[in-house]
């Protein structure tokens, strides 16, 4: 089966096509190697980074931006969101601080995206 | 009060311009920002996707801003936050107010405008219907959710498929709202393709192309129903109505550069960009006043904002050093030709560029298998092929200096046309 995949790895957004029978040999349309890996990943196991906000007290704003330190399985996005929504941190927090370690055993942390 | 350089706006444009000016020898530099902190719109853009060109990695908005904010320390660049500029005069006096110092009059040797842009509202696109609560511009909703921690609604429809609308469709979904769809009047989306994929397709959110909102109804003061119709061009087609039970409507219907201050300084505004007319150094029609970022023209990528701001910063430092606005070569005007909406810059001084000049523009419609050409009269001086060009994506054209020399002072036009089949 021919499959179309839009690469999300950079703003160019290449439209990649492949044949699911023989993906590696048929990947086309990617302007760079990253697109190749992305397309294969989409076929085998789609992964995403999640960014959101978490509660913070004693800071300039009541929410601090956070994200996953790496990719998590796409089907776990809402579970990870639920974990982020459980926490409340106290100022001061530094950009890069780990707010949840190894979230849901994904091997990925939830980290702060700014000082606050 | 006197500063060699006053930068108005502390978003990514202002930050990069100030830094680059200082690096290139500008003396006293002051950034004035009306918000309580630096970073501009990036503070509320918590998604990742910034910095791939400048840093080679995908950062969130706040992380991108932080890199530039951190670099200010030790440079001697001064910052006044919570300070609003209320006027600029042609002799480069900046007036501003804040609660600690009151009314400020600051003389500047040079000024960089970096005020960003604001969102178009319901009234600017004349949506019919009642006026209940629950209708927000997408950027305002983004600030409520991401900075202030308020959710805006449960069942949401979004009008406009620009990047802000797409990003908000995903954000609202992640926070538990049901996003009923994104409605776009044009037959194509105005957002980046990757945002269609990762914000709509990932979550099964439908995109209604060639559709618009034709009626709005409220119940007990809150939005309850939105009617959407298919359009023929811009005309709604009777009988195609779709009803959505929505309590919230987000408008992502365009941005307008914030140029009230520029006008007060007597700066010439280009009606195509709603920003100042500039030359290759981002200098406006008033010598010593420069503009960069979203106040000059609406950018979709912050990386290009940074690059443009660095050009403005460097040029401002040079202006202060040489204290001249002298034209050193020939000034060539750039006009937009077929399918091209505008160009920035609008003028190039051939004496001031290196081997190349960079020209940014947007096309007016989707073009496949296209050719960009630079002409003087009917004479084609330069051309370049592009597989596809989209109105949603700003194009960058690099024109060699020898092409501009060949124009010999004549006005040039930049056009984009599909190759004949
Ligand atoms: C919702 C959204 C999503 C985006 N997503 C992406 C993305 O994924 N990737 C990407 O690369 N780019 C993205 N962008 C684009 C990019 O963020 C912007 O182009 C960039 O931030 C513009 O920078 P700026 O400094 O020109 O304007 P702003 O960031 O708007 O900064 C202008 C500053 O000037 C201040 N100001 C204005 N008037 C005055 C005054 N009178 N006195 C004092 N201060 C004043 C404002 O308070 C503000 O802080 C996005 C933009 C938006 C809005
Ligand atoms: S394939 Fe490469 S160039 Fe194309 S979108 Fe993906 S990362 Fe960008």
Confidence of residue B327 (pLDDT cuts 50, 70, 90): low
Which pLDDT tens digit goes with each residue over B25-63?
999 999 999 999 999 999 999 999 899 888 988 899 999
Q: What is the ipTM of this complex?
A: 0.95
Residue A11 has pLDDT above 90, yes or no: no
Task: Please indicate whether residue B21 or residue A25 has the higher confidence score (pLDDT).
Answer: B21
Specify whether A69 is located in the same domain as A92: yes
CA-to-CA dists, residue B112 to A74, A105, B17, B191, angstroms: 44, 49, 8, 29
Q: What end-to-end distance do the CA atoms of chain A give, in Å?
A: 49
Confidence of residue A106 (pLDDT cuts 50, 70, 90): very high
Cβ(A41)–Cβ(A24) under 8 Å? Answer: no
Contact between A53 and B149 using a beta-carbon 8 Å cutoff: yes
pLDDT of residue B421: 54
Specify whether A32 is located in the same domain as A59: no
Q: Which two tokens stand for residue B185?
A: 């009047």
Specify whether A74 is located in the same domain as A95: yes
Interchain contact A62–B (C-beta under 8 A): yes
The distance of Cα B340 from the centroid of its chain, to the nearest Å, equals 17
Specify whether A11 is located in the same domain as A62: no
Task: Please indicate whether residue B12 or residue B394 has the higher confidence score (pLDDT).
Answer: B12
Burial class (CB in 10 A: 0-12, 13-18, 19+), A27: buried
Nearest CA to ligand 2 atom 5: A13
Specify whether A39 is located in the same domain as A56: no
Which pLDDT tens digit goes with each residue over B186-236?
999 888 899 999 999 999 999 999 999 999 999 999 999 999 999 998 899
Mean pLDDT of B178-182: 98
The number of domains in chain A is 2
Specify whether A31 is located in the same domain as A80: no
In Å, how far is A16's CA from the nearest CA of chain B? 12
- Please tell me the distance between residue B362's alpha carbon and the centre of ligand 2 in angstroms: 21
pTM of structure: 0.93
Specify whether A31 is located in the same domain as A76: no
Range of the domain at A28: 2-44
pLDDT of residue B324: 62
CATH number at residue A72: 3.10.530.10
Residues with CB under 6 A from ligand 1: B 8-14, 32-35, 40-42, 45, 49-50, 84-85, 114-116, 139, 142, 163-164, 167, 258, 261, 293-295, 299-303, 305
Specify whether A36 is located in the same domain as A59: no
Which pLDDT tens digit goes with each residue over B290-317?
999 999 999 988 999 999 999 999 999 9
Specify whether A11 is located in the same domain as A39: yes
Confidence of residue B361 (pLDDT cuts 50, 70, 90): very high
Contact between A13 and B60 using a beta-carbon 8 Å cutoff: no
Cβ(B109)–Cβ(B92) under 8 Å? Answer: yes
Residue B325 has pLDDT above 80, yes or no: no
């Amino acid at each position: 089966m021919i499959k179309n995949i839009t690469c999300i790895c950079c703003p160019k957004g290449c439209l990649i096509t492949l044949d699911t029978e023989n993906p590696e040999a048929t990947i086309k349309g990617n302007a760079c190697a990253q697109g190749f890996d992305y397309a294969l990943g989409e076929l085998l196991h789609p992964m995403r980074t999640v960014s959101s906000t978490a509660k913070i007290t004693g800071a300039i704003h009541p929410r601090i931006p956070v994200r996953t330190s790496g990719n998590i399985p796409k089907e776990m996005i809402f579970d990870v969101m639920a974990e982020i929504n459980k926490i409340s941190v106290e100022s001061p927090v530094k950009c890069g601080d780990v707010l949840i370690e190894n979230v849901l055993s994904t091997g990925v942390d939830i980290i702060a995206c700014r000082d606050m | 009060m006197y500063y060699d350089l006053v930068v108005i706006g502390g978003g990514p444009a202002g930050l990069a311009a100030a830094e680059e000016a200082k690096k290139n020898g500008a003396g006293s530099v002051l950034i004035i920002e009306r918000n309580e902190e630096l970073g501009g719109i990036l503070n509320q853009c918590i998604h990742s996707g910034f910095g791939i060109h400048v840093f080679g990695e995908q950062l969130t908005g706040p992380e991108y801003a932080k890199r530039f904010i951190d670099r200010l320390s030790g440079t001697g660049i001064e910052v006044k936050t919570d300070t609003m500029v209320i006027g600029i005069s042609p002799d480069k006096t900046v007036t501003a107010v804040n609660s600690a110092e009151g009314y400020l009059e600051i003389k500047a040797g040079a000024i960089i405008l970096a005020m960003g842009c604001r969102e178009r509202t319901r009234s600017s696109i004349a949506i019919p219907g009642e006026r209940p609560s629950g209708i927000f511009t997408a950027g305002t909703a983004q600030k409520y959710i991401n900075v202030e921690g308020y959710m805006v609604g449960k069942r949401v429809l979004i009008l406009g498929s620009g990047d802000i609308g797409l990003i908000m469709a995903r954000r609202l979904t992640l926070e538990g709202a049901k996003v009923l769809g994104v409605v776009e009047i044009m037959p194509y989306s105005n957002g980046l393709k990757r945002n269609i994929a990762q914000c709509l397709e990932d979550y099964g959110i439908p995109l209604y192309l060639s559709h618009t909102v034709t009626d709005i109804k409220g119940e007990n003061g809150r939005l309850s129903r939105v009617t959407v119709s298919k359009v023929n061009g811009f005309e709604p087609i009777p009988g195609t109505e779709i009803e959505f039970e929505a309590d919230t409507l987000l408008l992502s219907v365009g941005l307008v550069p914030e140029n009230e201050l520029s006008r007060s300084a007597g700066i010439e505004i280009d009606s195509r960009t709603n920003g100042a007319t500039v030359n290759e150094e981002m200098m406006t029609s008033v010598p010593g006043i420069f503009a960069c970022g979203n106040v000059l023209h609406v950018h979709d990528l912050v990386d290009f904002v940074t690059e443009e701001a660095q050009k403005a910063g460097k040029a401002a430092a040079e202006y202060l050093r040489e204290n001249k606005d002298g034209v050193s070569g020939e000034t060539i005007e750039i006009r937009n030709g077929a399918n091209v909406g505008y160009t920035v810059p609008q003028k190039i001084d051939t004496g001031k560029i290196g081997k190349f000049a960079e020209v940014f523009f947007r096309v007016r419609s989707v073009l496949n298998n296209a050719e960009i050409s630079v002409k003087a009269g009917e004479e084609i001086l330069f051309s370049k092929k592009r597989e596809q060009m989209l109105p949603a994506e700003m194009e960058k054209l690099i024109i060699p200096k020898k092409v501009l020399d060949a124009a010999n002072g004549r006005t040039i036009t930049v056009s984009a046309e599909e190759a004949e089949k």
